[in-house]
């Protein structure tokens, strides 16, 4: 019985529940009606018997008791025989109504069945967005939109990852083939091996970064949160990147408010700040100044990194934090970038409960990391 019930369609189950509820209500109504009529008949019988005794009616009392019993039996027969008929007719009507009410769901199911991974751009029709079925269709359409976005990102990520992995492999292959075409001197072999090791290092960094992002997406990286001074951490990052700025004759300037504390994983948050400052060094012009500020209000702490580079055009700002996305493909590759730095920064900041954004500026770029301030006693 339970197997049949679980495999039955919604309209059949709705009809069964409707018939069961209607049967209970009709049985209760018929029972109440029968008891009320019987009570009324008994009172009427008592009155007639009383009048019979006073008037000395020729009709025997037994004949009065039989006439009323016959009427009660007739009423009971009508109720007993009419009840199943009414339930059956009501069940048929309920099934028709349920079928008509659920027909839009069948239509939605047919439309949804035609939407595949290659047709995620299609959407379900929403005849009435204000009723329950219309809201259901709107939710399904939102789900398809998110799936379409996820599939597009996955396709782009796969294509970009393949391209990024193929580039150093092609370079390594080219260097090896060139070195083997003819006999070389030991210094020439050493140079070739050095070039190949540089590409291997780049490939290793790329794979490590992809692995970190993959673990972050899967939620397998466990954060160790501590209350730390954001100004001290930012100064530490800037100090470690100072040599890169010196190579480009750039000046790293840090202004940090005192006692700005946040609750975060130190290593993960350090990665975020490092990638943002490193990005400013790469794209800032030589002999320019990079301003790094740490500010706070009552609820939030902010790290702002401002460079004097070319800035990010408006058409690129929405995707600047996407993986492998580059505004300038050629320049990024020349600098050894993989297009994953800002993606790592975004993940690291959001994993610590914060947000990262790119602000518009007259010149250069302004990246802002915002984190909740730690509650201190």
Q: Characterize the bridge pairing of strands 355-359 and 300-306.
A: unpaired
Q: What is the pLDDT of residue 291?
A: 94
DSSP bridge pairs for 357: 368
**Overall residue count recorded for the chain in this entry:** 377
Number of helices and strands in the chain (H, E): 10, 7
3-state secondary structure of 367: strand
Q: Which residues contact residue 56 at a Cβ distance below 8 angstroms, ignoring those fewer than 6 apart?
A: none
DSSP bridge pairs for 291: 253, 306
CA atoms of 351 and 218, how far apart (whole Å): 12
CA atoms within 13 A on the CB side of 215: 12
Q: Which residue has the tokens 């794979």?
A: 207
CB 296 within 8 A of CB 302: yes
Token couple for 339: 């297009």
Tell me the per-residue pLDDT of 264-323, one tens digit each, with 9 for 90 and over.
999 889 989 999 999 899 888 889 999 999 999 989 999 999 998 888 877 777 778 877
Q: What is the pLDDT of residue 53?
A: 59
3-state secondary structure of 361: coil
Q: What is the pLDDT of residue 208?
A: 79
The domains of the chain, with CATH numbers, are: 2-114 (no CATH), 147-218 (1.10.287.130), 226-372 (3.30.565.10)
3-state secondary structure of 286: coil
3-state secondary structure of 64: helix
CA atoms within 13 A on the CB side of 314: 1
CA atoms of 319 and 337, how far apart (whole Å): 17
- CA 374 to each of CA 262, 293, 300: distance values in angstroms, whole numbers, following the listed order: 4, 18, 9
Tell me the per-residue pLDDT of 156-196, one tens digit each, with 9 for 90 and over.
777 767 766 777 788 888 888 888 888 888 888 888 888 88
Read off the DSSP letter of residue 241: T
Q: What is the pLDDT of residue 332?
A: 52
Q: Quote the crossing angle between the two packed helices 230-240 and 266-283, to the nearest 10°.
A: 50
Token couple for 224: 């160790």
Q: Which residue has the tokens 């006439």?
A: 67
Q: Which phi-psi region, left, alpha or beta, contains residue 217 (left: φ > 0; alpha: ψ -120 to 50)?
A: alpha
Q: What is the pLDDT of residue 300?
A: 94
pLDDT profile of the chain (377 residues), mean per 10:
59 71 74 72 67 56 65 72 74 72 74 77 76 79 83 73 74 84 84 85 78 73 88 93 90 92 92 91 90 93 91 78 67 58 88 89 84 81
Q: Between vectors from CA 312 to CA 310 and to CA 318, what angle results, nearest 5°? A: 175
Q: What is the pLDDT of residue 54?
A: 56
Token couple for 196: 């190949």
Token couple for 348: 């690291």
- CA 54 to each of CA 48, 50, 58, 214, 252: distance values in angstroms, whole numbers, following the listed order: 10, 6, 12, 102, 122
Q: What is the pLDDT of residue 368?
A: 94
């Amino acid at each position: 019985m339970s197997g049949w019930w679980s495999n039955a369609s919604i309209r059949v189950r709705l009809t069964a529940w409707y018939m069961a509820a209607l049967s209970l209500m009709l049985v209760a109504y018929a029972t109440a009606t029968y008891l009320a009529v019987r009570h009324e008949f008994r009172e009427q019988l008592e009155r007639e018997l009383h009048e019979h005794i006073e008037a000395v009616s020729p009709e025997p009392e037994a004949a009065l008791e039989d006439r009323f019993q016959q009427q009660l039996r007739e009423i009971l027969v009508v109720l007993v025989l009419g009840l199943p008929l009414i339930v059956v007719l009501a069940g048929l009507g309920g099934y028709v109504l349920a079928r008509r009410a659920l027909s839009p769901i069948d239509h939605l199911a047919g439309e949804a069945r035609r939407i595949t991974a290659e047709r995620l751009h299609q959407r379900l029709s929403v005849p009435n967005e204000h009723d329950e079925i219309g809201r259901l269709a709107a939710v399904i359409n939102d789900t398809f939109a998110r799936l379409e976005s996820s599939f597009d990102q996955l396709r782009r990520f796969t294509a970009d990852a393949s391209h990024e992995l193929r580039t150093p492999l092609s370079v390594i292959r080219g260097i090896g083939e060139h070195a083997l075409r003819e006999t070389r001197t030991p210094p020439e072999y050493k140079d070739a091996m050095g070039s190949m090791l540089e590409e291997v290092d780049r490939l290793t960094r790329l794979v490590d970064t992809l692995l970190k992002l993959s673990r972050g997406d899967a939620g397998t990286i466990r954060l160790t949160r501590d209350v730390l001074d954001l100004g001290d951490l930012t100064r530490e990052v800037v100090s470690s990147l100072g040599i890169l700025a010196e190579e480009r004759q750039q000046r790293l300037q840090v202004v940090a408010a005192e006692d700005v504390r946040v609750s975060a994983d130190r290593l993960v948050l350090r990665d975020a700040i490092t990638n943002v400052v490193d990005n400013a060094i790469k794209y800032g012009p030589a002999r320019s100044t990079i301003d790094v500020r740490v500010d706070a209000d009552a609820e939030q702490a902010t790290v702002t990194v401002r460079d004097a580079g070319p800035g990010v055009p408006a058409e690129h700002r929405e995707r600047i934090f996407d993986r492998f996305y580059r505004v300038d493909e050629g320049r990024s590759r020349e600098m050894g970038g993989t297009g994953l730095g800002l993606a790592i920064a975004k993940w690291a900041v959001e994993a610590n409960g914060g947000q990262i954004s790119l602000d518009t500026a007259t010149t250069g770029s302004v990246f802002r990391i915002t984190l909740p301030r730690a509650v201190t006693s």
